[in-house]
Structure 1
Amino acid sequence: MRRTILISSLLLALSGTAMASQVYKWVDAQGVTHFSAQPPQGAQATTINTAAPPPKPSAQEQAAPTFESIADPEQAAIDEKVKQQVAAKEAERRKYCENMRTNLAQLQNNPRVRVEEGGEVRRLSEKERQERISTAQKSIADNCK
């Protein structure tokens, strides 16, 4: 059974190249290029190899300078500094979002939340707790992905 499946798979894989037909290319009297599976009558046609991979880029195309190699070193230093600043801001935002989600979970799961204000610890009323929950949810929706 395995042998039959293996042979069938191989034949199926190879059948694509066996079924590929010739493609002919020619230019008519008006200068229009045509492609067809059959050669034209009374005109010179060239065959196109459809199984060949596309040509590799030339050495000149491969050695083409990139934008980064053209840019001056001063600009590269500025770009790197900006990238570091953006990364630092993103890390700060992630930490803020994590803290807000933790606070929201605490507010939602604990009906007896205590806060320290002016050196004294007091319990939040249900109204204050709901206000803080809505504030935390809004903050998360605005600032976190």
Structure 2
Amino acid sequence: MFQKTLITLSAVALLLLAGSAAWSASQIYRWVDDQGVVHFGSIVPEGVEATPVGVRPNTVPSVSAPSVKPSENAEPASEDGAASDAQAAEDESVSYAEQRRRARAEKAREQAQQAEKRAKECDLMRRQLAVLEPSPRVMIRGEDGTVQRLDDDKRLEALDETKAFLAANCNN
């Protein structure tokens, strides 16, 4: 008995849903009144010329699947023109939001690379400062491989340049 009632209620609910979908999909018309105001409605007033409007009820815009990026190890295109054409075609098919996401990611990647480069330079300058500052006798290796001692003026000049670089670039 309970199953029969449940089946009957399910059938009624299904019919109501189907009927409401058909009702909501009724035709919509567009017309202009005597004052030039544009109206839309499912019922057209008498004596007015109306045109049907193609309305798709309950539609959700389709979202394309994200494009697959070529791998870093992929072979480059044989011609630069073909590569740029393919890139242009890909850019046209990618949404504006995806283009912005990619641009932000590229900018963040560049900033990270610059920060890493700056950190390496700062580390090198700190090591150079550690050598130049405490000792008045600093030995350097020349381009030809010979070792020479820096005189005090050159050592102080290098020390000042190193401190200036660290102050300007290294958050010290």
User: Scaled by the length of structure 1, what TM-score is found?
Assistant: 0.49
Q: Flag the structure with more relative contact order, 1 or 2, with Cα contacts below 8 A and sequence separation at least 6.
A: 1
User: Scaled by the length of structure 2, what TM-score is found?
Assistant: 0.41
- Structure whose CA Rg is larger: 2
